[in-house]
Structure 1
Amino acid sequence: MAREKVIISCAVTGAIHTPTMSDALPYTPDDIAAQSIAAAEAGAAILHLHARRPGDGGVSIDPDDFAAFLPRIKQATNAVVNISTGGSLLNAIEERIAPALRFSPEMCSLNMGSMNFSFHPLAKRYDTWKFDWEKAYVENSDSFIFRNTFRDIGLVATSLAPHNIKFEHECYDVGHLYNLRFCMDIGLFKAPIFIQFIFGILGGIGPEVDNLIFMKRTADRLFGTDYRWSVLGAGGAQMPLATTASQMGGNVRVGLEDSLFISRGKLAGSNAQQVAKIRGIVESLGAEVATPDEARDILGLKGGDKVNF
């Protein structure tokens, strides 16, 4: 069989890193739009999007903050837009899905289990901060529980079902794969599904290749041929694990949400720089990169003409 093309997703800004950590991290609508468009031009078929407060870069799940950049991205690119339902570690699921309900994107991320989710060690790297909220937010993340109960997952699935949204099922550990299998068995999700294996978050599975192989074998056993998959490696694991995944028949995710660096000790200048790097690696190793429309076909998406922005 001919090998499917590699889909590159770009996670543009996220809810972990703060403006102090990198001048390249976008948080204004202008910067989020510009970096998203540039990432699409560099080869990202899917744009995984969070919003930020434009005044101080804080995490936002306010649909109005999404409205400031979503139409501009759609007008300038053909990329698939994926809106996070993770969004905030501190808000209830009803609040976290508000942007998806309003804008009806082609895709949404959906975390498949509750977990400790911490990045507090980053606080020790900085003596001064650009904004007052940053230090306490990072330091206190050692108390965060990222809540995604079965009831929460069910609420997302049923609330968004009328919108025909394909989920990026984010699995931070092997138990999340079993959670997903259970949810499929009770009718919440239908095959084919799209799984994002996530490695290297403090609270989740570590970023070793052995773990990638284990997660992939487990998914093969649970889902057979009824799934497509991608890999997100946090921090320094970003490029190595993405490269490995691309050679195992998987897809890849990069972006400043997941890592602020382009190489060891060197901050990335933009999301597009990371996209260009992984695209170059993938193509140099003999694989082809999918266009947005090819990604739509591979994942069975509803199409960019059926969104509400």
Structure 2
Amino acid sequence: MERRIITCAITGSIHTPSMSPYLPYRPEDIAAQAIEAAEAGATILHLHARDPRTGRPSGDPEHYAAFLPRIAAGCDAVINLTTGGSAVMTLEERLRAALQFCPEMCSLNMGTMNFALYPMAEKPREWLFEWEEPFLRGSDDLVFKNTPRDIAGILEHLGCERGARFEFECYDIGHLYMLRHFVDRGLVAPPYFIQFVFGVLGGMGADPDTLDHMIALADKLFGNDYLFSVLAAGRHQIPMARRALERGGHVRVGLEDNLMIAKGELAQSNAAQVEQVRRIIAEMGLAVATPDEARVMLELKGADKVAV
């Protein structure tokens, strides 16, 4: 039976606490929801940290240390730490936790891009924290910076030196060519795990035809040396996940990407979204890859080599 990897992105840095009471930002809640997602079938846990006093995204290793050991002790899912952090962080702030904890996997955005979140500020709501609304409204002038020099440094320090493999986040066609560039430079070895990202304002729109084009281009650039996964923001999450599964790919869900479980209904946990996509996988006659199966598929170094 064909195996499909489910990545679950637990909290992220895009949504703010006022948008959903179920978005975890305290370490105990991040840990609990991550473990529940793993129990529901998540193969990989994509993790960000937040300041528990304010709910604001954080790159502080102390904030990661408040939940990482609990997650590692509570499940065997693959731990995947962000190197993106938040677009308002410096590169050094974004990398501190990954450099310290040496995870099996890290995410890696394959280019500099606009990261526009300001439409989220238009919905009337009571703001829990004073930073939320200015952060969202100010994103009409927000650029996420990941230059070729930045990417090379991440690949060197986390990949070559610490043995991490990467979730290569590709928001546009040019990001695939950038990945090919680093393959040619010898900084990346197969198998490549490519995450096609749809629905972020500044990147690709959530269009099935665009996914088909990205697959065709990745086939041309990487042949049989890659696996792909799909994440789509908001209401596009499940339709694009279905399309990915139909095309032989893997999927990412989680409250980082989508706060809803159905139209007009907030997801009450990350596990609820994992269970939803797991049912779809079963209906298609497929099976969810276990963490150990994913470690073989992606040639990961193993949980015993993570400094948690």
1:239-284 deviation digits (Å, cap 9, x = unpaired): 1111111121100000000000001121101000000000001111
Separation (CA, whole Å) in 1 of partners of 2:126 and 2:33: 26
1:265 aligns to what?
Answer: 264
Separation (CA, whole Å) in 2 of partners of 1:121 and 1:95: 26
1:40-98 deviation digits (Å, cap 9, x = unpaired): 00000100000000011001010110000000000010000000000010122222111
2:204 aligns to what?
Answer: 205
Q: Read off the aligned partner of 1:293 and give its amino acid letter.
A: D
1:303 aligns to what?
Answer: 302
Is 1:90 equivalent to 2:88 in the alignment?
yes
Separation (CA, whole Å) in 2 of partners of 1:211 and 1:217: 10
Residue 285 of structure 1: CA displacement? 1.2
2:128 aligns to what?
Answer: 130
Residue 115 of structure 1: CA displacement? 0.4
Number of aligned residues: 307
Q: Alignment partner for residue 98 of structure 2, among 86, 97, 100?
A: 100
Q: Alignment partner for residue 70 of structure 1, among 68, 71, 79?
A: 68
Q: Which secondary structure state, in structure 2, belongs to the residue aligned with residue 94 of structure 1? A: helix
Alignment of 1:273-288 (within 5 A): 273-288=272-287
Alignment of 1:173-212 (within 5 A): 173-212=172-211
TM-score by length of 1: 0.98
Residue 4 of structure 1: CA displacement? 3.6
Contact 2:8/2:46 (<8 A) preserved: yes
Q: Which secondary structure state, in structure 2, belongs to the residue aligned with residue 197 of structure 1? A: strand
Contact 2:18/2:125 (<8 A) preserved: no
TM-score by length of 2: 0.98
Deviating runs (4+, > 3 A) in structure 1? none
2:41 aligns to what?
Answer: 43
1:251 aligns to what?
Answer: 250
1:6-54 deviation digits (Å, cap 9, x = unpaired): 0000000000000000000000000000000000000001000000000
Q: Which secondary structure state, in structure 2, belongs to the residue aligned with residue 101 of structure 1? A: helix
Alignment of 1:161-180 (within 5 A): 161-180=160-179
Separation (CA, whole Å) in 2 of partners of 1:185 and 1:95: 28
Q: Which secondary structure state, in structure 1, belongs to the residue aligned with residue 45 of structure 2? A: strand
Separation (CA, whole Å) in 2 of partners of 1:277 and 1:292: 19
Q: Read off the aligned partner of 2:69 and give its amino acid letter.
A: P
Contact 2:61/2:96 (<8 A) preserved: yes
2:221 aligns to what?
Answer: 222
Residue 127 of structure 1: CA displacement? 3.7
Q: Which secondary structure state, in structure 1, belongs to the residue aligned with residue 287 of structure 2? A: coil
Residue 126 of structure 1: CA displacement? 2.5
1:104-139 deviation digits (Å, cap 9, x = unpaired): 000000000010011100101024201111110111
1:55 aligns to what?
Answer: 53
Q: CA RMSD in A?
A: 0.8
Q: Read off the aligned partner of 2:282 and give its amino acid letter.
A: E
Q: Which secondary structure state, in structure 1, belongs to the residue aligned with residue 300 of structure 2? A: coil
Separation (CA, whole Å) in 1 of partners of 2:223 and 2:2: 17
Separation (CA, whole Å) in 1 of partners of 2:286 and 2:240: 16
92-101 or 19-28, which moves further after superposition? 92-101
Separation (CA, whole Å) in 2 of partners of 1:303 and 1:159: 18
Q: Read off the aligned partner of 1:148 and give its amino acid letter.
A: N
Separation (CA, whole Å) in 2 of partners of 1:221 and 1:64: 43
Separation (CA, whole Å) in 1 of partners of 2:172 and 2:125: 33
